[in-house]
Structure formats: structure tokens, C-alpha cells
Amino acid sequence: MDVIDTWNGRTACALQAALRMTNEAFATRLGVAVRTVATWHKEPEVVPRAEIQAALDTTHEKAGPTVQLRFARLSRPASGPAEAQALRVAIAIVVRGAEVLLVCRRGDAALRWQFPAGMVKPGGHAADVAVQETVAETGVHVAVRRRLGERLHPVTGVIADYHLCEYLAGEAVNIDIVENSAVNWVAIKDLTKFIPANSIYQPIMAALEDA
């Protein structure tokens, strides 16, 4: 487990991304104001107060091995000149007949049911991450059919890169039990019972209607 001598905005945001928490959920976990988390995103070199440093230490120490590994990758300084880079997440919209694959995240009421997703490291390819994270989380093997586009996610504030995928093989099981409480195939017609329609990227709905 990596040890952080002094937390700053950049490393705090890396921990938030590793936990896959919204600003609101992360603020609640640490016992700070939401605006404090927002400030870390805007000012990556800012150093939190001592009591917040301690809260970050505790949150990091209590995180599971999957989260700690993801944090180690996300918090690693990039080689070469320092350059601000927005966090990018690859999201897989996996279709099997009239069904779409969903995962249920632990501890995030704002984004409980989601499509399989994973963080894209600098220099990585979002399409590859979408495929790899789907099998890592659910055991389902997929192939990317086409890219649906990207947006600044309205809840998490990261760049969400969406990929329509077709099912190849595998049973849907909850492999990543640290982060997810369930994995389900959901009828496309029932998708909005799990994810509010107004939070679904519109090209996803169009692609699922075509499917």
C-alpha cells in the first residue's frame, strides 16, 4: 500500500476517483464540505488541513485492495512536464439481445446502478479499458461495436467515454465484490427503472432503441 506523506488536491482527487465517488459522497465520507472537494479539483496543489489529512489517511487505509491498486496508478506522477489532465472513464454499454448489462455500486446512492466502467490511464485507450473492465467486474466478454461519444459527467465531473459493446461469452457474476453489490442483465425497456432517464447520455438511448 502506498503511503502519502502529505495529501494535496491531486492525490485527494485520485483517491476519490479510485473509490468512484461523486463529490457529494466523497465529502460525506471525509466529513468535509462539498465545496472543499470541488476546490481540490480546481487547485490540485492545495494542501488540506491536518484533520482532513488524517481523514484521507483513514479512508485510504480502509479501502480494499482493488481501490488501493487503482489509487496507486491514478496518483502516480506522469513522466515528463507536469500537465493538468482531466480524469477519463471508459463506459461499456453491453447489449445481449433485448438486455443491457448493469452493475450496482456500493456506497454511492447518487450513482448506484451503472454501466460497467473503468478509469483510463494517460496514454491508454478507452475502448480497451471498456472491454477489460467489463470482464474484470462481471466475467462477461465483449467486443466494442462503436464509440457513442463522450461528455463531462453531470454527477462525477469526469470525462465519460461511452462505447456500445456486443456480448460474446460468459456468465454475468459479481467478481469485484469490494466495489459492487450486484451484476444484472436488465431488459432495455426497463433501464430507466434503474437509471433515471434524465441522467442517461442521449446517444445511449438512441443506440439501445436501434438494438
pLDDT in tens, 70-104: 888 888 765 544 444 568 899 999 999 999 999 99
**Is there a single domain that holds both residue 40 and residue 93?**
no
What's the farthest any 2 CA atoms get from each other in the chain?
Answer: 53
**Is there a single domain that holds both residue 23 and residue 107?**
no
In a domain, 179, yes or no: yes
Number of structural domains found in the chain: 2
**Is there a single domain that holds both residue 70 and residue 92?**
no
**Is there a single domain that holds both residue 53 and residue 94?**
no
**Is there a single domain that holds both residue 125 and residue 204?**
yes
**Is there a single domain that holds both residue 128 and residue 198?**
yes
Residue 90 has a pLDDT of 95
**Is there a single domain that holds both residue 124 and residue 190?**
yes
Residue keyed to cell 477489460: 132
Q: Which amino acid is at 207?
A: A
**Is there a single domain that holds both residue 34 and residue 62?**
yes
Q: Which residues of the chain have pLDDT under 70?
A: 1-2, 77-86, 107-111, 211
Q: Which domain holds residue 205?
A: 88-210
CB atoms within 10 A of CB 172: 21
Q: Which residues contact 18 (CB under 8 A, 6 or more apart)?
A: 63, 67, 68, 70, 71, 74, 119
Give the C-alpha distances (Å, rounded to integers) separating 128 from 27, 142, 148: 31, 10, 15
For the CA atoms of 46, 30, 159, 63, the dihedral, rounded to the nearest 10 degrees, stands at 110
Residue 111 has a pLDDT of 62
In a domain, 29, yes or no: yes
Q: How far is CA 129 from the centre of its chain?
A: 11
Residue 78 has a pLDDT of 56
Residue 202 has a pLDDT of 92
Three-class secondary structure assignment of the chain: CCCCCCCCHHHHHHHHHHHCCCHHHHHHHHCCCHHHHHHHHHCCCCCCCHHHHHHHHHHHHHCCHHHHHHHHHHHCCCCCCCCCCCCEEEEEEEEECCEEEEEEECCCHHHCEECCEEEECCCCCHHHHHHHHHHHHHCCEEEEEEEEEEEECCCCCCEEEEEEEEEEECCCCCCCCCCEEEEEEEEHHHHHHCCCHHHCCHHHHHHHHHC
In a domain, 168, yes or no: yes
pTM of the predicted structure, to 2 decimals: 0.61
Residue 2 has a pLDDT of 60
**Is there a single domain that holds both residue 67 and residue 139?**
no
